[in-house]
Amino acid sequence: MNSYRLLFESEYEDVIEKLKSERDRNITGYYDLPFDSIKLPKKDFQEIVLIGIGGSSLGTRAIDSFLRLKRKAKKIHYLDNPDPVAFKNKLSRIDPTNSLFILISKSGTTLETITQFKALLHYFNLDLSQDAKRFIFITDRDSALDKLAKKYQIEYFSIPKNVGGRFSVLSNVGMIPLGLAGYEIEKILYGAKFFMQRFFAKKETTILKKASFLAKNWQQYPMNVLFSYANELENFNKWYMQLWGESLGKIDAHGQSVGLTPITLIGPRDQHSFLQLLAQGPIDKSVTFLRIANFEEDLLIPNCSLPYLESTDFINGLTFGQMVNEQAKATMKSLKKRNMPIDEIILPCINEESIGELIVYFELLTSSVGALLEINTYDQPGVEEGKRILRETIG
Amino acid sequence: MNSYRLLFESEYEDVIEKLKSERDRNITGYYDLPFDSIKLPKKDFQEIVLIGIGGSSLGTRAIDSFLRLKRKAKKIHYLDNPDPVAFKNKLSRIDPTNSLFILISKSGTTLETITQFKALLHYFNLDLSQDAKRFIFITDRDSALDKLAKKYQIEYFSIPKNVGGRFSVLSNVGMIPLGLAGYEIEKILYGAKFFMQRFFAKKETTILKKASFLAKNWQQYPMNVLFSYANELENFNKWYMQLWGESLGKIDAHGQSVGLTPITLIGPRDQHSFLQLLAQGPIDKSVTFLRIANFEEDLLIPNCSLPYLESTDFINGLTFGQMVNEQAKATMKSLKKRNMPIDEIILPCINEESIGELIVYFELLTSSVGALLEINTYDQPGVEEGKRILRETIG
């Protein structure tokens, strides 16, 4: 089901050609990532400590949370936001003697990441020379971090220069930690490859239809809501938020500020929060419903009736997963009546292939919208100003 | 610091009068909550299981997370979203023999809440008669749940009829579980009362200035970003999201859909995600920076320098808390250069009084904007349609 109006099919070809041209001229390297193979290092450890922020951790977290049920895997501690309370709390739960420390920074000098790393070395009494085997660095070739790795013979992995953080989850950035944690990364990449090929073979024209609608009507619908009906998708929502916001909030080829604002919700929970605004507020949002058709380890709602509460019994005998899906469908129907632009993504189940497909779906959608908006989808020049002011103030 | 343009001071009086009138005519009862005293029941238990969704748990969670550092308290398990994976996972971590189950539903028949409660009874083999002492119900007087409590002699607490879920955290809804968990609720209420009195004594006119700006320019700035620089405020962000979205997305007195859309960020993390959109996208958002001036248990950034990474050393010797605050200030400055409407809320530290004040600040801001938009800030008629469709489909 898809309520986006069909625009001009003739444009689809143009968008695909633009994306192909980005790929062939190496404007961005993310299109090729699912076709690469990842070589995992051999390491002996019990838990992983991942130090990285933004694109260096959001994708890994998205997949890790989504596949939680299938985890035969080693735990990953994420050190992302340098909040003092959270950082201290995490430090107290890490056993440094049994941990592998994976430091991820594309530029090699990300302030929050390097600062946390230095604090780790200090508070855990780690030494780069003696403890070299307990570190892995993932960074751009020839970055400062790359040089540091070489100096101390720390194992390191590179990120293709033309793959930005938010498009890098299927590179070493995500695949090394997830692979080391025990996930079947080849299946994730298989799902990603499968979808990428179908798109370029013009078999996923829904993406083009949707991109075309969103780009043409961005001033009427400047907000795009991703309404995900599963706790397991909460970190995927955060990954999408970066991908969408950082890629599509730009100054376009004509010098005009354009921007599509991502908003993320979790269902059914946020039916008790944000839904009222969708139901009666201005129609300035498109909404994508994302749900999981089958939860492998679902739970039955017992056939139990309580005095005075019989009005809730109509749901008895369904599973929790079915209830969540029915709530998504009902909410979607209620919003369709308002003529909101709505579409739906149904994942068959929670597995590696489906998260691989889902990631590529949103990456290709982002690229398609960006191409139609005539912006550079892959840079982020706007974040430099704050960094400059910070250095001026403190430095 | 506050960059909202001053509008007409003569209007301030009008808004305060409108709010006073809401209070005196009992349109909403939340203005009185900080002046009530809460009587905690005597219960013997190790952990709390709170079953409630939306306004029945968001406020409690916001305070619980914010005060985490000060917790001498008993753990609270939250059963909110009925996601099967998350629900099963939580069940496995609850020890039913040592837990107090607090069931919160204003209407008494919230589907997700009652369903999870029935599943708890079933899977933990609990019995309403025999185990009555292990339950507490918090609900509207004469609701179905209230009747169930009476039937089985379960201890219950009521919610004032004229206090909606999203405005109820300072009532029994939040204060009973937080008090039982060991937090000093009288201090939370003291902070709330202090701020409420100052507002009605016309000593908090910033709120009126801000409300007036937001209401008059809502079409130019339909999105309001709360950029909170602390992990401890992540659940506060969610509470704000419900308060703002559900209160201010409405059909107004003239039949027009109005709506201010809440967007929440965590800093510095989301400087690596959403900031690019703020920095170069359309100026269609106001931004409120929320930060904590002093983290009681702060952590020093060690005076450590690594080869090639010297460019990050300018931050050495600061604490993590200072770094986070400096990043907030630098980002704010960079956005001010774009003439975005920006304001700043600085909490002196993490304690009970400051979260009490903060809650009332946002509640009064919401009421003031609602009054100026000529909407009913306190109802949520738009969420009924989806519920109706669900019943029709399954029932």
Cβ distance of B387 and A330 shorter than 8 Å: yes
Q: Is B246 a catalytic residue?
A: yes
- What is the ipTM metric for this complex? 0.97
Cβ distance of B108 and A390 shorter than 8 Å: no
Q: How far is A205 from chain B (nearest CA, A)?
A: 27
Residue B2, pLDDT above cutoff 60: no
Helices (H) and strands (E) in chain B, counts: 13, 11
pLDDT digits (tens, 9 = 90+) for B33-49: 999 999 999 999 999 99
Q: Are residues B217 and B115 in the same domain?
A: no
pLDDT digits (tens, 9 = 90+) for A79-128: 999 999 999 999 999 999 999 999 999 999 999 999 999 999 999 999 99
Q: Are residues A165 and A193 in the same domain?
A: no
Q: Is position A99 within any domain? A: yes
Q: Is position A385 within any domain? A: no
> What's the whole-model pTM score?
0.97
Question: Which CATH number do you get for residue B178?
Answer: 3.40.50.10490
Q: Is A272 a catalytic residue?
A: yes
Q: Is position B51 within any domain? A: yes
Q: Are residues B234 and B333 in the same domain?
A: yes
Q: Is position B382 within any domain? A: no
State the pLDDT at residue A124.
97
CA B69 from chain centre, in angstroms, equals 18
Q: Are residues A229 and A319 in the same domain?
A: yes
Q: Are residues B354 and B236 in the same domain?
A: yes
pLDDT digits (tens, 9 = 90+) for B232-260: 999 999 999 999 999 999 999 999 999 99
Q: Is position B383 within any domain? A: no
Can you tell me the distance from the alpha carbon of A266 to that of A243, in angstroms, rounded to the nearest whole number?
18
Which structural domain range is residue B242 located in?
10-21+199-369
Domain boundary among B145, B164, B187: B187
pLDDT digits (tens, 9 = 90+) for B283-342: 999 999 999 999 988 999 999 999 999 999 999 999 999 999 999 999 999 999 999 999
Can you tell me the distance from the alpha carbon of B249 to that of B376, in angstroms, rounded to the nearest whole number?
10
Minimum CA–CA partner of B270 in chain A = A54
Cβ atoms of residues B128 and B152 within 8 Å: yes
Q: Is position A383 within any domain? A: no
Residue A285, pLDDT above cutoff 80: yes
At A99 the three-state DSSP class reads strand
Print burial letters for A193-205: b (CB count within 10 Å at least 16), e (below 16).
Answer: bebbeebeeeebe
Q: Are residues A54 and A171 in the same domain?
A: yes
Minimum CA–CA partner of A329 in chain B = B390
Using CB atoms, pick whichever of B68, B109, B337 lies closest to residue A85.
B68
Q: Is A387 a catalytic residue?
A: yes
Q: Are residues A221 and A368 in the same domain?
A: yes
Q: Is position B377 within any domain? A: no
Q: Are residues A143 and A196 in the same domain?
A: no
State the pLDDT at residue A8.
59
Q: Is position B392 within any domain? A: no
Using CB atoms, pick whichever of A122, A281, A299 lies closest to residue B249.
A281
Number of domains in chain B: 2
| DSSP states along B264-321 | EEETTGGGGTTHHHHHHS-S-EEEEEEEEEE-TT--BPP----TT-GGGGGGTTSBHH
Catalytic residue among B72, B272, B310, B337: B272
